Amino acid sequence: MASGLRTGRMHPLPACGESAGWGAAPMTPATIVFALLFYAAFLVLVLGTGYRVWTYSRTPAPLKIPTTPAPTSRGGVALRLAREVLLFESLFKAGLWLWLAGWLFHAGLALVLARHLRYFTEPVWGWVAFLQPFGIYAGFAMAAGLAGLWVRRMFVARVRFISTPSDHLMLALLLAIALSGLAMKFVAHTDVVAVKAFFLGLMYFDWQPLPADPVLYAHLALVALLMLVFPVSKLLHAPGIFFSPSRNQVDDPREHRHLAPWAARLDPRKN
Amino acid sequence: MAAADIKAPPLRADPGAPQALLPGAMAASKPYVANDKMQQALGFPGELVDGWQEKAIGRMGELLDKYRSLKVYMDACVHCGACADKCHYFIGTQDPLNMPVARQDLMRSVYRRYFTLPGKFFPGLVGARDLTKEVLDQWYNYYNQCSECRRCSVFCPYGIDTAEVTMAAKEIMDVVGLGQKYSNEIIGKVHRIGNNLGLPGPALADTLEGLAEDVKEETGEDVRFPLDEKGAEVLLVTPSADFFAEPHVDSLIGYAKVFHAAGIRWTLSSHASEAGNFGLFIGNYDQLQKIALRIREAALELGVKRIVVGECGHAWRVAYSYWNTLTGIGAGGDDPFARMLQQQLDSRYRQPTHVCELTWDLIERGALKFDKDANDHRVVTFHDSCNVARASRMGDAPGGQFEIPRAIIRAVANKYVEMPRGTTREQTFCCGGGGGLLTDELLDLRVKGALPRMEALSQVANAHGVNFMATICAICKAQFTKVLPYYGFKMGMVGGVHQLVSTAIRLGDQH
């Protein structure tokens, strides 16, 4: 995509003249709505998730309960967590199709998110530029993974049994984000230069107008919704795994006395 | 369900195929409720208290703040169902509430209602519900269909351990007066008499004398079974079933022969005459610690240098994973409480030690001799007990809890066969009787829960003539003894690893 990549300037003003110039187009109501929406969504996402993570970190794990066999060193635990987060090791043991759909979706999501950094950085970072072409396949992988997961949730009896409306809605939300994003790439191009200007404008408090594109509006609104629900949803599994005692504890209870503060405070004669 | 009506479910032709759901199949399965005496002995209300709903939610809030496991597990589940078909009780009963995720959701739905924003404002959307009496009763029935075996946690992408949820549920139910008779009565016996079976000191001494006589008759050797002997090197803490139940007692004889052959001075303790700790099963930290402290007290009283745990699954979990935390038995504690015991215990050995670690160590050093052909009438397989497999370790490296018992078996028997992949080691199937469920009124559940292990056993029995399933857990031994006949196997087919050791060990030439 054109000028956004080439310019070395810090100012969000695009080099090409055809896009909205500095103060040349009116600040649309949509721009104001989305600007406020994203500020709010960002705050809710960061503060809300930050708060949950803080409560996880403050809650003690008084007993050694790693699922054994477990690593006996902290380095080993780091490797175990890395294998979980990058390869979905435990899920692989659970079943090939579920692992494939889940991994495909998440790997796709990771690449898509990385590629989207280009809208928030100026100049675009080297490795983000490098990822550009892969991002396209990632978008399809993401949608395919999500579709596979949703079909499974609808048609496999035991998964259907445990599904709440929010489980289906979350898949719908993510799929709609993926499809609207792919649509802007392949079906109805949007003015990404202006989009980048808009987001950089939010970051530097120098608002730029958002293109009046319904698919873009849908995509952005859905993303904002995702950000808003993240801290009160099952998406907390993302930070949560790092605090899961069955995965993050070192298996060395005979070698080191593991004692939570509240356990240590029990009967002083005993402790 | 009348005992006569209990039948084993048929072995599945294709264990990999998805099973049909039978909603409500086990809705009536319910263990006896503890009476007020049993409850009060543990400091719980004698019966369901007024205002129980508020009290229960309050206790849930406290547990959420004290146990990171509960807090994270309530939030992190994405309902992917990876765990769903992994639980032996679901496999055996097909009741969808026995899928681990569904079992957790019995609590998670209540958690969402009272502790999360969406649950407060949009309950229907997120599967949140009020804690009504119906829900509480459902908790009682279905949380007593979980043996806390942790198999589900192997497959969950975040390691969510349903056992932690079950323990929390039982604790919440106990504090509002709804306790399970089997577990709570047993804990009462430990406090009153010293062990799960209520075997008092003099009776224990008598039993041990009898055993010494039996062994003298069988082997001609003066194999001792010491009790409360000060100054012994080893304190053996073993499940009380080892003192007289079959086949458990054959393992006790095995330990005694090993100590005798190796010249190790050992003792049992009437104060710590129980390795088992049902405080684990009811998720109550206070009981867990109280019961564990008896071992510390006995060790200090008898002045021993090593603490060794016999063949008991959950006891080994508590001993290995929790004793250091609860009682200071182990290394690395920096407080007066822990250091006091560390000074007495021999730091060259891991404290506590599993009897299999001790025996294997002796075998590796050539201190024990065996006639392996004495076990030639047995084609042996090994059942990994859940608490040993998924909640403990033996030896230095992860997975020692799988390797060491098998190494011992191969040292004392010629014919060993492994059960199919995915049914042993970290993925081992629970025997179906653990976690406080080893009681007759749950026999239907126990028979059904044993299905996947019985399928695996059938495969090796048919293909390789396996006629002995060794295991190192007292509950597994009791459960299998009862349940094997429902599947057409002989109850004598299950036994301990040290039973095999006892059969093959050469005693005479040690002197």
Tell me the shortest Cα–Cα distance from B272 to chain A, in angstroms: 17
Best residue of A146, A150, A162, A235 to probe chain B, by most B CBs closer than 10 Å: A162
Instruction: Give CA–CA dist B405/B436, Å, rounded.
Output: 25
* Residues A198, B21: Cα–Cα separation, whole Å: 52
Residue B322 carries which DSSP code? Answer: I
State residue B1's pLDDT score.
62
Helix (H, G, I), strand (E, B) or coil at B227: strand
Tell me which residue in A59, A70, A162 faces B102 most closely, judged by beta carbons.
Answer: A162
Beta carbons of B417 and B466 less than 8 angstroms apart: yes
- When the pLDDT of each residue in chain A is averaged and rounded to a whole number, the result is 91
Domain boundary pick from B178, B198, B218: B178
Q: Which residue range(s) make up the domain with B59? A: 3-28+36-178
Domain end residue (candidates: B360, B381, B416): B360
The number of C-beta contacts closer than 8 angstroms across A and B is 228
Do B393 and B491 lie in a common domain?
yes
Check whether A3 has a pLDDT greater than 50. no
Instruction: Name the residue among B380, B382, B360, B379 with its Cα closest to residue B370.
Output: B360
**pLDDT higher than threshold 70 for residue A33:** yes
Cα B316 to Cα B277: distance, rounded to the nearest angstrom: 10
Same domain, B347 and B465: no
Do B382 and B488 share a structural domain? yes
What distance in Å separates the CA atoms of residue B248 and residue B276, rounded to the nearest whole number? 14
Domain count, chain B: 3
The pLDDT of residue A2 = 43
CB–CB contact B332 A70 (8 Å): no
Phi, psi of B398, rounded to the nearest 5 degrees = -55, 140
pLDDT at B218: 94
Residues of chain B with Cβ-Cβ distance to A71 below 8 Å are 398
* CB of A23 less than 8 A from some CB of B: no
* Chain A (51-90) residues lying within 8 Å, Cβ to Cβ, of chain B: 52, 55-56, 59-65, 67-72, 84, 88, 90
> What percentage of chain B has pLDDT greater than the value 70?
99
Strands B306-309 and B353-354: parallel
Is residue B226 left, alpha or beta, with left meaning phi > 0 and alpha meaning psi from -120 to 50? beta
CB A226 within 8 A of CB A46: no
Sheet containing strand B353-354, edge to edge, reads B266-267, B234-237, B306-309, B353-354
Instruction: Give A39-98 pLDDT, tens digit per residue.
Output: 999 999 999 999 999 999 999 999 999 999 999 999 999 999 999 999 999 999 999 999
Q: Which of B294, B326, B360 is the last residue of a domain?
A: B360
- Locus of tokens 């009967």: A267
Taking CB atoms and an 8 Å limit, are B81 and A65 in contact across chains?
Answer: no
Q: How confident is the model at residue A269 (pLDDT cuts 50, 70, 90)?
A: low
Same-domain pairing of B169 and B194: no
Write down the pLDDT at residue B2.
Answer: 67
The pLDDT of residue A15 = 46
> Which residue in the set B150, B331, B401 is minimally distant from A67, CB to CB?
B150
Kindly state whether residues B147 and B250 are assigned to the same domain.
no
- Indicate the SS3 state at residue B506: coil
CATH superfamily of the A26-82+95-264 domain = Transmembrane di-heme cytochromes, Chain C (1.20.950.20)
Question: How many residues comprise chain B?
Answer: 511
Q: Which residues on chain A are in Cβ contact (under 8 Å) with B285? A: 62, 263
Domain match, B132 and B45 both: yes
Q: How high is the pLDDT of residue A102?
A: 98
Residues B372 and B388 reside in one and the same domain: yes
Q: Residues in chain B with pLDDT < 70? A: 1-3, 509-511
pTM of this structure:
0.95
Which residue from B81, B159, B324 is facing A258, i.e. has the nearest CB? B324
**What 3-state class would DSSP assign to B268?**
strand
- B333 and B372 co-located in one domain: no
pLDDT for the residue A21? 46
Distance from CA of B434 to the nearest CA of A (A): 17
Q: Which helix (H) or strand (E) holds B294?
A: helix B285-302
> Which pLDDT does position A25 carry in this prediction?
55
Q: List the single best residue of A73, A153, A257 to mutate versus B (max B Cβ within 10 A).
A: A257
CATH code for position B90: 1.10.1060
B154 and B269 in a common domain: no
Whose tokens are 């907390």? That residue is A236
The pLDDT-based confidence of A19 (bands split at 50, 70, 90) is very low
Interface contact flag, B161 A67, Cβ < 8 Å: yes
